[in-house]
Amino acid sequence: MSGRLDGKVCLVTGAGSGMGRAAVVRFSREGARVVAADVDLAAVRESVALAETAGGKAFAVRMDVSKEAEVRVGIQAGVKAYGKIDVLYNNAGIFPAADHSVTDTDEAVWDKVFAVNVKGVYLVCKHGIPELLASGGGSVINVASFVALVGCSVPQDAYTASKGAVLALTKSLAVQFGPKGVRSNAICPGPIETPLLAAWLFKEPAEKTKRLNRIPLGRFGKSEDIVNMALFLASDESSWTNGASLVVDGGITSNYF
């Protein structure tokens, strides 16, 4: 039985845990060869092992997406291993506990968030899109967030602003490279049960309940909920989807009161 990504080579950043790990396993199971990139090499090797156990093909590279030299080398390693790249899945991101309002967030925290969440997307696209063009076209998938679409009375302003920047950049990429066969789209996840979220939110029952009550479907998202959307965008099924901001949030952004 053929997979939805047969013949494709997909680069996944932030592939060492959470949504990135789920994408490595699912994409490889659907027939893709996956270049799994993460700043934590041991963690991303675990993701690759899980993919291979499931019968897929994946290759681990260490990549700090905020460092251009590492991004360039990582992408070149992926091309050397598999001959091309068809999909860029910009999943890497950080969400520091010290990120609050603009009035009380340290400059160093702000800069770090933007270095990973925005500069990282820029660098992967800078070095990855030429590879997509060389392979005849492909798909850029950028992970933004529902917080880029709505305000929050408990702010994380660096994260929110960084994800808004990702949405704007996605639109620009869609217009620039769509005529050349490269479509670019963003996914806006709602609260997802990942280690990133659990590290702080699940330790505070009141904060967890407050957010859960805002989700009409009554649960936090799973990594697979987002990866299912990413799979559609990585596949040829989305051949006429370009410049979209696809919200996968259980309805939280539709909940007025």
Q: Which of 89, 122, 159, 256 is catalytic?
A: 159
pLDDT reading at 1 higher than 60? no
Could you tell me which of 125, 52, 130 has the C-alpha nearest to residue 88?
125
What pTM was computed for the model?
0.96
Tell me the domains of the chain and their CATH numbers: 9-247 (3.40.50.720)
Mean pLDDT of the chain: 95
Q: Reading across the β-sheet that carries 87-90, which strands appear in turn?
A: 57-62, 33-38, 9-13, 87-90, 138-143, 182-189, 245-248
**Residue 181 is encoded by which pair of tokens?**
């066969």
For position 203, what pLDDT does the model report?
A: 72
pLDDT tens digit string along 234-243?
Answer: 999 999 999 9
pLDDT in tens, 38-83: 999 999 999 999 999 999 999 999 999 999 999 999 999 999 999 9
170 falls in which pLDDT band (50, 70, 90)? very high
Give yes or no for a contact between 188 and 249, defined as CB atoms under 8 angstroms apart.
yes
Any catalytic annotation for residue 159? yes
Average pLDDT over residues 207-222: 89
